[in-house]
Structure 1
């Protein structure tokens, strides 16, 4: 008995499930996921509402900051340079990803402590580098910005963080390192690091973007690069009998600071880039439009030409005679259906010919 009852309940459910599955797999709308009341589109390139790709280029200064041989020496700054190019993909209005290539050169100085420093004097060094990295881009302005309907959204604060690989070549010279004619001979400190997995680095930074037009953004950006390498500053590895520039300071990571000014070229045909779109502001704007819209209700947009009390929008008889009673469609009433409207019918309840004013032949109309 229980088995029969179970089968009685299960069989209709099974058939319904099969039918529902067939509906789910169709690509047409409405389906089981959409009632058809919303504007639903397939998730493909043609359904995009915003630009979400861009190409960025820029350049500026590069400085060896936290290192043994540094760009900031004796109260002076030894300027270097850098240039970058990146392909940018905006994933949401608050987050994007960048594939970036950067190259540049830093200039730095250092003085060894004690007698070694007196013999060598102030050393000069440079680092030429190139890097490939992946950056995450957080749009803080879209994440925490106060939204209203009156402030133009032209400036945005961005934060960056990512990882990459770098290759570099360094050279360091002082009064003691290039002795070819005396004994013992010494050669300059040189390091060449190939772009490989052991040249892994991290970087973080921040930038301010200005929405110059629907095609171009202008950005000022500062990035801090953590190399994890004690030879990135040109200080060398440090061997026995050779002054150890890479031992001037504690720590095994030479870090670099870059300050850049750049341009982003927004790709695509849409007017707005996703990075400059705030859904909350868009919602508030629409609510504001509705709140301030005119709510005047027009009863008869086309008027009432025959003055019968039925608007011409749905009046089926636009030339009803004045004074005639009409139904809801604006048609003159004919109670006895004899073809003579009640306004002219002398016998309203009895059918009769038109020539007798709607009365039967044996009845004289009054």
Structure 2
């Protein structure tokens, strides 16, 4: 039980430590690489598959570990390939506002890598296309655009990451073709009629004083400080103290000053089973009311005591209890075995069978053996207290199916050793 309590509180301390942490939210991004115009292109004009001539810069803000927003600016030039009908050189720029999703956190990349990430982005913006050669040299085509892309990341350090990016851009209202040698219909053309893509390699620089940026922050990995853990552990130790030695820790003990040897319940309170004002550990007849002058026993109590004891025992009022999957009696219930021992010594004509039980959790054959071990542990206690073995017997009865197995409290009552007077 103490281990369970310790584990639960330690888990709470770690969660507290995680929630107390923050992450950086801002980053700056720069990269450069390739571009490729797909359409519109004048027949006979071609661009290389990998045209070097693209640069981009941006700033990003993350609302949390998974979602954010960024503004970025891209510019460059597109040129002809060796097989093109003629040369061309077209400059462009774009300015976009985009939403960002941290796909690495969403898809739990941390389960296989803590240094590889992946961002997705989508947005819209404005731009222009400016041919430097051919028929429409010097003209400027104002366009709007939509952009979507993915950005693989490789963490290099606390404040920097190597990134790549592949983006597809669709231009709207592009009148001049990429080569600058012809146009698309009339000057009033509308719709998404321009298509191109970019591929870049660059760096991300994280701004802030925290240990991690949102791209790499994993709340479950954040632990409390050594000082916080030391404080928590000291508090746990104080809680688990058992000042009066009755087997019930102080934080659960409603009577923390129980006299030594007192028989207590699971809340640490002294038992007075017969309600005669004499606590069980001082009452020589704990189940038969009597005055304090006769140590809690009625004046004529010998045969009545035997009969009352037999009824109390056989009706299940005296039991030794066990923790889950254990054959070691719980401390607060061992006084039941002491009581039985004292009574047997005072009444040599009485014999007792010790009956072990288990709850319904676990395999039935295992529970049968466990119930027998529980009965045997009480049998050993009674013999160790001086009771002759010839007056004792024990047997495991397996699972107690009379209780509600869905109730933790009921299952605790089932994990017991009872007695039957012969």
TM-score, length-scaled by structure 2: 0.44
TM-score, normalising length: structure 1: 0.50
Name the structure with the higher helix share: 2
Higher RCO by CA contacts (8 Å cutoff, separation 6 or greater): 1
